[in-house]
Structure 1
Amino acid sequence: MTGTTSSSTEPDDPAAPARRRIFADLTPLRVSPDYRRLWVGNTVSWMGSAMTSFAVALQVYDITRSSFSVGLVGLCSLVPLVLFGLYGGAVADSVDRRKLGLYSAGGLAALSVVLAAAALSGYHQVWLLYTVVALQSICGALNAPARSAMVPRLLPPEQLPAANALQSVTTTSGFVVGPALGGVVVGLFGFQAAYLIDAVAFSGALYAMWRLPSMLPDRGEDKRGRASVLDGLRFLAGRPNIRMTFFSDMCAMVLAQPKALFPAIAVVWYGGDAKVAGLLGGATAAGALLGGLFSGWQGRIRRHGLAILLSVAGWGLAIAVFGLTRNLWLGVFFLALAGWMDTVSMVFRTTMLQAATPDDMRGRLQGVFIVVVVGGPRLGDFLAGSVADLTTPTLAITGGGLACALAVGLLALRWRGFARYDARSPEA
């Protein structure tokens, strides 16, 4: 019904194809009510989660007046997410993904209620905040692989790039809007208001999951009831194209990740303060958001492997040039350009992972994806900080960007078939 309606209205609007060539392709939202509900619910709940994450950091600092204590919030989030990322993917390949997504989203909503109740009762204890953050990460590690593995069951393969571009809009807009909204809400109404808003925001995700059909993994001839993490890693070992999506992302996130140096270079390079550091950090997110909003052209690209190689190399080169700039606005421009390249890479990497992976392996591979996406930037922060302390920030940033471009070029030479990957006949 929806497909008929969409196709019948498009000829009446001759400008529609031109808009899709420029702006994000909204076809997945039009043709699939299930996907539309899932995307809207995920967008609202993601902004609420980003708001809560910022509010927790503010509350920890309000209690302790310690930046180190605030830093521990990230550690409490990172460790469970990495440890449970692979496990969550295996669970998503063993059970009904709809139920897993529903229960884990319900857990996240309940944890926000716990935070709100504690704030309302005046129970301000850092250990409780750390515990809730860790439990939220566990629920998120179960929820994300299940939710991502659902998308290829809701849309045809040719619409996956558009769907992943829309997901990038959700993610980056949450990073941009969530903290700003959290600061305003906490400032006006207190911590409990931010946590209650987050709990209510999860109702959209819960409703979307509730309306979905059953999402049991399609096992084909394999009727085993339990999916093994090791089976997923063995599958990955024999699939060079999928492995390359992870390798290329690690090149960008580990070798060319300047975020940890923003506070220092804001002062040393630009003579600024925390506001300048915030501007540098927001530039990459703004570029990524623009990349998602102006992503219509990506749906016509078939050589996804080549697009990933070029965009990762583009990220590295943009970071390298940023390392040579001493003009603030020129630096912001190149960081935004790097963010744009990151969105392009993410769209095609995710699409390849969804299209070239059999349904019974999608959860486990999404678990690996989470570990890479979460762990890579943290390793990159450590590497950039270490190199900058031993040498200079310029060498750390520019050298890292050039190393990223060189590394992805060497990977392309080692696995030449990756550049020839064609979305019309996806091969893992």
Structure 2
Amino acid sequence: MPSALKRLLRHLALDLSPLRDSRDYRLLFGSGVITMFGTLITMVAVPYQMKQLTDSYLAVGLVSLAEFVPMVVCGLWGGAIADALDRRKIIVMSELGLLVTSAALMINAMLPSPQIWVLYVVGAISTGIGSLQRPSLEAVMQQVVKHDQQAAAAVLSSLRWNFGAIVAPALGGLMVASWGVTSAYVLDTLTFLLSMVLLWRVRSLPPAEDAAPASIKSLVEGMRYAMSRKDLVGTYLVDMAAMVFAMANALFPFLAEELRAPQALGLLYSASAVGALIASLTGRWTARVRRHGLGVIVAAALWGVAVALTAVAPNIWLIVVCIAFAGAADMISGIFRMTMWNQTIPPELRGRLAGIELLSYASGPMLGNARAGMMAQLGGTRFALGAGGVLCVAAVLSLATALPKFRRYDATTDENALAEKARREAATLA
């Protein structure tokens, strides 16, 4: 084999060192794989059930909007408690709460006349609990993974997510079409039970001895730190703009119907993850990139271009290709953002900043789906896709111009990255 090809394969091959070196990362990784399947199947089941009950674009889009306020409030508070309490305890108790909400959806689906309001209310509660949990899940990566393995862990976590996002929506589409939405909710409930077994074995992850108690003051402190760093602000705003203007998953049930391919619903949901999985499998090269801010900008713009092309694709297969390309671009953006966060944010602020990060990468899709539903109500599915993609590119390029520090970020020279690297090295020697 030519040496150049060998080098290329080494750069593309997966780095499994975080799984090999950290028992707690393995447990968290396994738990994530299991719950992801049920959660993503439910992601297909809820809009499908809402469409069955209402046959309304707006009603489906409003499912995401109903989840927005709980996500904002609980995401910020979840960040505060992640820095103040044992992160393992937060993760386990939240998982129990998610088990209960999944069971509630299952019971509602079994009723002779399922209630629409349950989908909104339970969806909002589930999002709130998940948002309380997410900052702790993000923050523990600093504790259970070595500093120089953070990029590899980001790739592996992305790979885990995307493998599930390919298989689970396809399975979900088949399940809801063949056996009804109840089967999806039953499976989701079972996955949370299995996940609890793994999470219970994770070691205690207590806060620092001088950790600030969870309070409005500590939240404000975290927000001030985030706003003081324009490179972090760039990661939040660019991702939010990309998602608000170009996210359109709420349109998939209608797009499948327009294409006269109802069985392709799961494929549409999975296509983005197919592209993202390819990006993750070949993502070892991302560890060599140092200009993470510029990488996020380019990837977010390509995401918008791909969504815009979806609007003019003439058949289901070209649409799937466009969505897959969008997913690959979004995944590369996510890897760069996660690496920036975990390599530059002080550990005593990591939970609170994870709460702020959650607002950026979770609020965007929620608002984007609501936007897509409203635009489709006005101009149709293709109009919502095309206009959203164009607006996404324009917004990303405008933010890149307005945030030069983010655009010029370099991990080899940035003072925050160097300070965190030195702190981790000192802690290892001690």
Asked whether the 8 Å contact 1:109–1:202 carries over to 2, the reply is yes
Q: Is the 8 A contact 1:263 1:277 kept in 2?
A: yes
Partner residue of 1:139 out of 120, 129, 140 = 129
Whether the 8 Å contact between 2:60 and 2:373 is mirrored in structure 1 is: no
Q: Deviations over 1:260-312 (max 9, x none)?
A: 555676687xx645456665554323212222222222122222112112211
> What's the CA shift string for 1:220-258, capped at 9, x where partnerless?
xx5532353222221111011111001111231123335
Deviates more, 1:24-33 or 1:233-242: 24-33
Task: Measure, in 1, the Cα distance between the counterparts of 2:173 and 2:353.
Answer: 35
In structure 1, what is the equivalent of residue 197 of structure 2?
Answer: 207
Matched, 1:317 2:334: no
Aligned sequence identity (%): 37
Tell whether 2:43 aligns with 1:43.
Answer: no
Q: Does 1:163 align with 2:153?
A: yes
Residue 61 of structure 2 contacts residue 370 of structure 2 at CA under 8 Å; is this kept in 1?
A: no
User: Aligned in 2, Cα 1:123/1:146: closer, same or farther, shift over 3 Å?
Assistant: farther
2:79 is the counterpart of 1:83 = no
How much does 1:177 deviate? 2.6
Counterpart amino acid of residue 27 in structure 1: S
Give 1:221-240 correspondences, 5 Å limit: 223-227=211-215, 228-240=218-230
* Residue 135 to residue 48, structure 1, CA distance change in 2 (3 Å): same
Offset at residue 38 of structure 1 (A)? 0.7
Asked if structure 1 preserves the Cα contact closer than 8 Å seen for 2:37 and 2:165, the reply is: yes
- With 418-427 and 343-352 compared, the bigger mean Cα shift is at 418-427
Distance 1:352 1:406, change over 3 A: same
Amino acid at match of 2:145: L
Counterparts of 1:136 and 1:57 in 2: how far apart (Å)? 15
SS in 2 for 1:164: helix
2:383 equivalent to 1:361: no
Distance, in Å, in 2 between the alignment partners of 1:343 and 1:92 is: 25
The separation in 2 between residues aligned to 1:159 and 1:286, in whole angstroms, is 24
The number of equivalent residue pairs is: 409
Residues 30/424 of structure 1: CA separation in 2 closer, same or farther (3 Å cut): farther
Retained in 2: the 8 A contact 1:241–1:427?
no
The structure-2 alpha-carbon separation of the partners of 1:262 and 1:72, relative to structure 1 and needing over 3 Å to count, comes to closer
Match of 1:174 in 2: 164
User: Match of 2:337?
Assistant: 349
Q: Structure 1 CA distance, aligned partners of 2:385 and 2:180?
A: 39
Out of 94-103 and 161-170, give the one that drifted further: 161-170
What is the CA deviation profile of residues 56-104 of structure 1, one whole-angstrom value per residue up to 9, with x for unaligned ones? 5566677x46557666654444442233221211221221111111111
SS in structure 2 at match of 1:211:
coil
Q: Distance in 2 between matches of 1:154 and 1:208?
A: 15
Question: In 1, distance between residues paired with 2:257 and 2:100?
Answer: 42
Partner of 1:410: 398
Match of 2:41, SS state, is helix
Q: Secondary structure at the residue paired with 2:84?
A: coil
Segments of 5+ residues of structure 1 without an aligned counterpart are 1-14
**Structure 1 residue 403: deviation in Å?**
4.0
Asked if the contact 2:67/2:123 (under 8 Å) is kept, the reply is yes
Q: Is the 8 A contact 1:257 1:384 kept in 2?
A: yes
After superposing the two structures, state which structure 1 stretch, 51-60 or 335-344, moved more.
51-60
| 2:285 equivalent to 1:297 | yes
Counterpart contact for 1:38–1:205, Cα < 8 Å: no
Change (3 A) 1:242 1:265: same
CA distance in 1, matches of 2:96, 2:207: 21
Q: Quote the Cα distance in structure 2 between the aligned partners of 1:415 and 1:249.
A: 14
**In the aligned structure 2, how far is the partner of 1:56 from the partner of 1:394?**
23
Instruction: Tell me which residue corresponds to 1:12.
Output: none
Give the residue type in structure 1 aligned to 2:404.
Answer: R
Aligned partners of 1:149 and 1:366 also within 8 Å? yes
Q: Which residue of 1 aligns with 2:366?
A: 378
Structure 1 residues 340 and 58: alpha-carbon distance in aligned structure 2, compared to 1, 3 A threshold: closer
* Match in the other structure for 1:150: 140
Q: Taking structure 1 as reference, are residues 153 and 264 closer, same or farther at Cα in structure 2, changes over 3 Å only?
A: same
1:9 maps to which residue? none
Equivalent AA in structure 2 for residue 44 of structure 1: I
* Partner of residue 423, structure 2: none
SS in 1 for 2:204: coil
Q: Secondary structure at the match of 1:226?
A: coil
- Tell me which moved more, 391-400 or 403-412: 391-400
Shift of the 223–229 alpha-carbon distance from structure 1 to 2, 3 Å rule, reads: closer
The equivalent position to 2:239 in structure 1, one of 238, 243, 249, is 249
Partner residue, 1:10: none
Q: State how 1:318-337 maps to structure 2 within 5 Å.
A: 318-326=306-314, 328-337=316-325
Cα deviation, 1:303-335, whole Å, max 9, x if unaligned, reads 211211221122223334444544554443232
Structure 2 Cα separation of the partners of residues 277 and 101 of structure 1: 32
Q: Is the 8 A contact 1:257 1:381 kept in 2?
A: yes
Judge conservation of contact 1:40–1:204 (CA < 8 Å) in 2.
no
Distance 1:314 1:51, change over 3 A: closer
Would you say 1:106 and 2:104 are equivalent positions? Answer: no
